[in-house]
């Protein structure tokens, strides 16, 4: 825009340009009549003015061309200076652009790494949540198993206690019977004809009668011991 403005000539009014051209033409005609090469003083004034006008127009055209050439040369010099100033800037901007592209690639790689780490962390969290859920389920199952085991052990202990009481009652009855028979027949001799099948059976009965008072030490407390051991556990 500035170059176009410099190339354009300032606007002039038509009337003033005509007056200037007329004055210039009049002066040229007068100068030609006085000092020119025209030898005939009676020459046609219109023809003379037309000739001088053509000469002046050609001169003005040459001046305008020279001025235009000078302006263009000046513009070329200015543009060369501007190019010399902008060339290093362009190079620096290209280097900066290259550096920014490298940084952009590195940032994209870092972003991709962070995204992968985030996905990996999410997967680890899900796995840990699944492991926690599994451990809780195992704990619930163990509690249920322990509860069922305790209930089964309690039932077993009650069953063993009932068995012990029944056996104890039977033992007491048998003991009282043996002691009574021992007191009644302590001085009698037992013969094979008293209803026993053989001598071994008679000797066993006699031995049981002699040791009837101390026979309760051979009673089996295994079931109760098992219940006590399970209860302590």
Can you give the residue ranges of every domain in the chain?
156-232
Distance separating alpha carbons of residues 230 and 17, to the nearest angstrom: 133
The Cα-based distances of 89 to 19, 126, 135, 203 in angstroms read 53, 54, 67, 131
181-188 long-range contacts (CB < 8 A, ≥24 apart) are: 181/209, 182/209, 182/210, 182/212, 185/209
**What pLDDT, in 10s, does the model give residues 107-143?**
999 999 999 999 999 999 999 999 999 899 888 888 8
Return d(Cα 163, Cα 62) in angstroms, integer.
145
CB 223 within 8 A of CB 160: yes
**Does residue 187 carry a pLDDT above 50?**
no
Six-digit token string for 164: 């012990």
Q: Among 226, 231, 190, 227, which Cα is nearest to 207's?
A: 190
Across all residues in the chain, what is the average pLDDT? 70
Which residue in this structure is represented by tokens 């005939």? 40
Q: CA–CA separation, 57 vs 17, rounded Å?
A: 13
pLDDT digits (tens, 9 = 90+) for 30-41: 766 666 655 566
Model pTM above 0.85:
no
pLDDT at 63 exceeding the cut of 80 = yes
Q: Give residue 171's pLDDT band: very low, low, confident or very high (50, 70, 90).
A: low
Nearest CA to 211 among 176, 187, 179?
179
């Amino acid at each position: 825009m500035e170059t176009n403005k410099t190339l354009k000539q300032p606007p002039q009014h038509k009337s003033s340009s005509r007056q200037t051209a007329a004055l210039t033409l009049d002066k040229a005609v007068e100068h030609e009549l006085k000092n020119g090469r025209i030898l005939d003083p009676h020459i046609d004034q219109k023809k003379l003015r037309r000739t001088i006008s053509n000469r002046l127009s050609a001169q003005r055209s040459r001046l305008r061309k020279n001025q235009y050439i000078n302006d263009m040369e000046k513009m070329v010099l200015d543009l060369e200076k501007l190019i010399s100033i902008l060339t290093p800037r362009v190079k620096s901007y290209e280097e900066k652009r290259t550096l920014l592209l490298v940084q952009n690639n590195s940032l994209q790689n870092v972003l991709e790494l962070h995204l992968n780490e985030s996905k990996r962390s999410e997967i680890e969290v899900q796995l840990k949540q699944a492991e926690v859920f599994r451990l809780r389920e195992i704990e619930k199952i163990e509690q249920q198993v322990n509860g069922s085991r305790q209930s089964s052990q309690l039932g077993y202990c009650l069953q063993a206690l009932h068995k012990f009481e029944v056996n104890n009652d039977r033992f007491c009855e048998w003991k009282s019977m043996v002691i009574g028979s021992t007191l009644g027949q302590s001085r009698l001799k037992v013969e094979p004809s008293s209803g026993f099948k053989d001598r071994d059976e008679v000797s066993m009965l006699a031995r049981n009668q002699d040791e009837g008072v101390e026979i309760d030490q051979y009673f089996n407390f295994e079931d109760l011991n098992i219940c006590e051991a399970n209860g302590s556990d």
